[in-house]
A and B are shown apart, each in its own frame.
Chain A
């Protein structure tokens, strides 16, 4: 089912590329760093994206009015959302849904609010804006992305935004000159490790006239990577070291604080 949806998406994407007007505009983008390194004092960081709109047509067609949408998507993960309700005076999880292979991190920055950029089906097709992303749910045996007003869908977006993992900035892309822009993408301290896709769209007159993709990688370094690897691959040894550390710390304190 997912594979089917993917192939439909691919076909759609291919059709889209074919229907792109043979415009003269090109996008060039660059990020401040392709690797976010997590060390012991990591609490989050900002990735700055710079971009330029190259226009072959002279005189330039800037009067068309350009808009930029920068979307950053973290590694796909499956989540479980649960809803509480009151039973016998106690709040209990009563209902749950799975969100299958949705971005673990998602940031949408644009030069204007997404809903001003075009009709809603255009926004959904090009995944412009948080609410226009496909969030596939499993409801019983069915897979579907339900209506945007679905309480689980809105709650999922709300919780993710509260955590800082989903982020939307309607004026997060600023133009330095009419053809030069920048955007600052906040990577929160709890951002998962892995590959992040950075997609930049040039939107004008209700269509995408150029797109550019790059990637950043969030990785642990030094001791953080060493510990994570040890915990993953040598569980017994790692547990034994932690247990011995507890014994050692206790013994040391006992020795240091002895009164006789």
Chain B
């Protein structure tokens, strides 16, 4: 693990739980940058923050445990705004959460097993490449089509209420009023489970997975999808913070606080920037960002490592 070299002009701060000094401005800067993206796109930003923290020398187990509180802080403002405008579908959120909590618990368990057998980096890396690659690719293609349609003056495609998918035949049907859908609770719970599971392993909130799943699979209106996703991110990230603190003792309040402060400031400016951009252009930008992260992780997997050996203390693996 490379330790950032500290020059005389940097302000360093000691992380009492991670037990290492970091450059305070680097951490605050990361918080602001990721918070900006979080506010702009209405996602948590964990898919950026976790790899970036590991890149600046924070051990993976510490990074995964401290990103959730940053996501909770920077998504709170957006969640509040949507809540006041009554765009959060509480029923849909609760069904998603029920699957999400089971997924998170199993994900945390799988995380610790992978850490012990030494294949965490590989599984996390592959998950990033596959999930981010697919979702980012779909986003890019879809938003590019939407932008081209807009340029040709064609009306944007609205919701198709008549479309039926195979899962509409499943039992336990529920009506979600805000989302204007009448579907089985089974696929929604499964989506929640998947988000929770990959969220725990990859250190992400899963907003960028959940929003497309709600829009394209469940046919939930875009604003309700974003609002409900932000609300769920807020809840799960608060729960994840407490879980990591109880189970792994890896929550570093100094690191978390520095990230939060940067995050909430960045999120405010990001939200304003986001309002100035058209929705399909916003999706194109987010798609580019997601694909970019996937490519970066893919390069790390195939490039010849500088050091063939890694050394970890057993305490960090428990």
Contacts of A158 in B (CB 8 A): 307, 309
Distance, CA A98 to CA B20, complexed state (A): 23
Contact, CB under 8 Å: B118 / A40: no
Distance, CA A192 to CA B19, complexed state (A): 7
Contacts of B305 in A (CB 8 A): 84, 91
- State how many angstroms separate the Cβ of A153 from the closest Cβ of chain B: 11
Contact, CB under 8 Å: B309 / A156: yes
Given the known A-B contacts A224-B14, A239-B251, A251-B76, are A163 and B312 also in contact in the complex, defined by CB atoms under 8 Å?
Answer: no
8 A Cβ contacts from A158-179 to B: 158-160, 162-164
Contacts of A39 in B (CB 8 A): 14
B301 within 8 A of A: yes
8 A Cβ contacts from B258-317 to A: 260-261, 263-265, 267-268, 301-305, 307-315, 317
Contact, CB under 8 Å: A84 / B308: yes
Which of B242, B304, B305 has the most chain A CB atoms inside 10 A of its CB?
B242
Among the listed stretches A11-19, A109-117, A242-250, which one makes contact with chain B, having 4 or more residues with CB under 8 Å of it? Answer: A242-250
Contacts of A252 in B (CB 8 A): 264
Distance, CA A224 to CA B308, complexed state (A): 34
B3 within 8 A of A: yes
User: Is the interface on chain A under 10, 10 to 19, 20 to 34, or 35 or more residues?
Assistant: 35 or more
Contacts of A98 in B (CB 8 A): 314
- State how many angstroms separate the Cβ of A13 from the closest Cβ of chain B: 27
Distance, CA A253 to CA B243, complexed state (A): 25
Given the known A-B contacts A40-B13, A43-B14, A235-B245, are A162 and B307 also in contact in the complex, defined by CB atoms under 8 Å?
Answer: yes
Contact residue among B3, B73, B238, B261 (Cβ-Cβ distance under 8 Å from A164)? B3
Contacts of B244 in A (CB 8 A): 239
Distance, CA A93 to CA B125, complexed state (A): 13
**Chain A residue at smallest Cβ distance from B80:** A254
Contact, CB under 8 Å: A239 / B311: no
Residue-wise, chain A 180-193 has the 8 Å CB interface mask toward B (1 for contact) of: 00000000111011
Given the known A-B contacts A43-B21, A224-B14, A252-B264, are A242 and B256 also in contact in the complex, defined by CB atoms under 8 Å?
Answer: yes
Contact, CB under 8 Å: A90 / B302: yes
A28 within 8 A of B: no
Contact, CB under 8 Å: A89 / B302: yes
Query: How many chain-B residues does the 8 Å CB contact rule pick out?
Result: 62
Contact residue among B74, B122, B243 (Cβ-Cβ distance under 8 Å from A250)? B74
**Chain B residue at smallest Cβ distance from A257:** B268
Contacts of B310 in A (CB 8 A): 81-82, 84, 93, 159
**Chain B residue at smallest Cβ distance from A235:** B246
Contact, CB under 8 Å: B242 / A236: yes
Given the known A-B contacts A93-B119, A239-B245, are A245 and B20 also in contact in the complex, defined by CB atoms under 8 Å?
Answer: no
B184 within 8 A of A: no
**Chain A residue at smallest Cβ distance from B57:** A190
- State how many angstroms separate the Cβ of B268 from the closest Cβ of chain A: 4
Contacts of B13 in A (CB 8 A): 40-41
A146 within 8 A of B: no
Which of B264, B303, B307, B317 has the most chain A CB atoms inside 10 A of its CB?
B264
Given contacts A84-B308, A190-B19, A235-B245, 10 further A-B contacts (CB under 8 A): A82-B118, A83-B309, A92-B119, A93-B310, A163-B3, A227-B254, A239-B246, A246-B238, A249-B257, A250-B75
Interface residues, chain A, with chain B CB atoms under 8 Å away: 38-44, 77-85, 89-93, 96, 98, 104, 152, 155-156, 158-160, 162-164, 188-190, 192-193, 220, 223-225, 227-228, 231-232, 235-236, 238-243, 245-247, 249-254, 257
- Would you list the 9 A-B pairs with minimal beta carbon distance, nearest first? A239-B245, A250-B76, A253-B264, A239-B242, A155-B309, A224-B16, A189-B21, A246-B73, A246-B72
